[in-house]
Structures are given as C-alpha cells and as structure tokens.
Amino acid sequence: MPIEPLDFDLVRKLRQNIESVILGKPEAVKLLVMSLLARGHVLIEDIPGIGKTALARALARSITCAFRRIQFTPDLLPSDVTGVSIFDQERKDFTFKRGPLFANIVLADEINRTTPRTQSALLEAMNENHVSVDGVTHPLPAPFMVIATENPLEFTGTYPLPESQLDRFLILLRIGYPSIEEERRIVASRQNSDPVDRLEPALSGDDVNRLCQKVHEIRMDDSITNYALEIVARTRSDRNLIAGVSPRGAIHLTRAARAHAFVDGRDYTTPDDVKAVAPSVLSHRVIERRIRGPQDGRASSSQIIRKILQEVPVPQ
C-alpha cells in the first residue's frame, strides 16, 4: 500500500502529543518516535530526574496499548520479568502466568541494577520477540518496545551491560539538561499534578503496527545504502576504536534512517537522515581505545562517530 498523507499526519500528531508534556526536548521525542516506528528498542542513559521515565510514560499514554514498568533490582529473577509456569490443581497441568514483559511498551527502569542473568532474559526477548519457558514459546504482543534506563554516574551495585547486549538497542538516547526558560515551564506545568497523567491517546496500537509497515516502504537509493555502509566500515578501521560496528548495527542504521525520513514526512531517504541518526545508533556499538600520553583519557564515542561523519564523502 502506498504511503498516504494521513500516515505522516498520524506521526506528527503522536510527536505533538508527547511534546505537549515533554517540554523543550523535541529531538529526544523525535528519536523515540523514530525508534518505535523502526520496531527498535531504546536505552536512555542520563542522570536521575532528567525526565527518562516521563518520556517513556508519555509515549505509552499517547498510544492505546498496554504499558508496564519494571523496576530492576539485584534480587529480580528472570521469571519475574518473563513469567512462570504454575501448576493448576483443577486442570492437573501447568499454566503459564505472563510476566510484565507481555506489554506493548515496557519501561525497564535502571536496567544495570539487576544481575546479568535477568538482563539476558530481557534482552533475549527483545531480540527474538518471544519468550520461551519450559520449552514452550510465547509470542510477545505487537507493537513491542523496550525503553530501558540507566544512570551513567553510579557504578556501586550495578552490572554494566556488555557490548553484545548493548547491540540489541536501536539507539542510545541522552536527554540532557533543559535551558533555564524550558525549566521554568517544566516547573510551572508540574505545580499541581503530573501532566503526563492527563495525556490522552493519539494513536491506536493498530495504527502503530500499520505505520511500522510503512517504514519498510521508504525508498533508499543504493548510493545512500553505500554511504551508510562506508560509515560503518570506517568504525572498524578507526585508530581510536578497538572494535567497530557489527552487521546488526549496519542493519539498524539503514532502518533508523528510513524511520527518520518517515518521521520527517518523506517517503525517501537522504544522506541527512543517515547523518542525523548515526551518533545515536552507532555510539554504543563501538569500543574505544584508551589514549595514553599527556592527555590520557577516553574520547567520547559519539564524538568519534561525528568525526567519521565529517570524513566520509556525502553522495550527491
């Protein structure tokens, strides 16, 4: 089916609905919506109180779908997330009791505070879109999106995600501090109650599934695909990195570029779409090399990706 103007209107309506309560962060909202339409998962890495949970809740309340929040703690078990089989005395058989992972939008709060075993259970489900318990496969609902959060400053009692698991997230998102004027508006809007609680849905779950299908129809010329692949290849030879982007990262980069074009109201991609999403899609997929010398330190992976973007010729 061709992409209709109404499809772009629905995306714009979703963004405006979220931006009505997430003030001063249009780029973060845009990247979150883009990830949803690309069927990707998001890792939000920022300090406490910056609006990570509010952003996830605003997206969930903007869609008529199921939302669950899982507070990750060291004592959380994989079955607490995925579900467990319980013996039914009447039926004389085991019945699967679904865990909170069986929702459309799942907020995995402070994912680095739980054990690697529980992290793996969540991330496997993200990759496979189903949960296997006692040899039985249970499909997850559609749409399905995990928004995980972590605090980059606290390391005591945390279990950092290894690179193989970071690779499951489509983008790494940092919200950042608001400006003084934006913070004034935020404080004023939350004097009596949380505006996110009053947010009305803008789209249905069926709308989201249909829009996700439309993203696959966004045109991407071979020259732009080659441009994206050249950026990925440069990460594998950059002297500041000891490990570059995997083929999965290349797939995610082209998928995110298509979704970015769609969110911008176009049915075709441009090099600017690739450049716009590359830092968020690629920065968590590379491993930096520690620089030794008078200015010993670790360069920002996002800055390295931006430097590569400046060096790779843009197709005409």
CATH topology of domain 1-216: Rossmann fold (3.40.50)
Span 72-86, pLDDT tens digits: 999 999 999 999 888
The pTM of the full predicted model, rounded to 2 decimals, is 0.91
Contact 35, 64 (CB under 8 A): no
Please list the ranges in the chain whose pLDDT falls under 50.
292-299
Residue 29, token pair as written in the block: 């909202």
For residue 204, what are the contacts with CB-CB under 8 A and spacing of at least 6? 63, 64, 65
Span 235-260, pLDDT tens digits: 999 998 888 999 999 999 999 999 99
Span 176-201, pLDDT tens digits: 898 999 899 999 988 888 889 999 99
Contact 219, 267 (CB under 8 A): yes
Region(s) of the chain under CATH 1.10.8.80: 218-316
Residue 90, pLDDT score = 75
H helix or E strand, kind and range, residue 287 = strand 287-288
DSSP state for residue 219 in the 8-state scheme? B
Region(s) of the chain under CATH 3.40.50.300: 1-216
Q: How far apart are CA 116 and CA 162, in angstroms?
A: 9
- What's the CATH code, domain 218-316? 1.10.8.80
Pairing of strands 136-139, 93-98: unpaired
Q: How far apart are CA 79 and CA 122, in angstroms?
A: 10
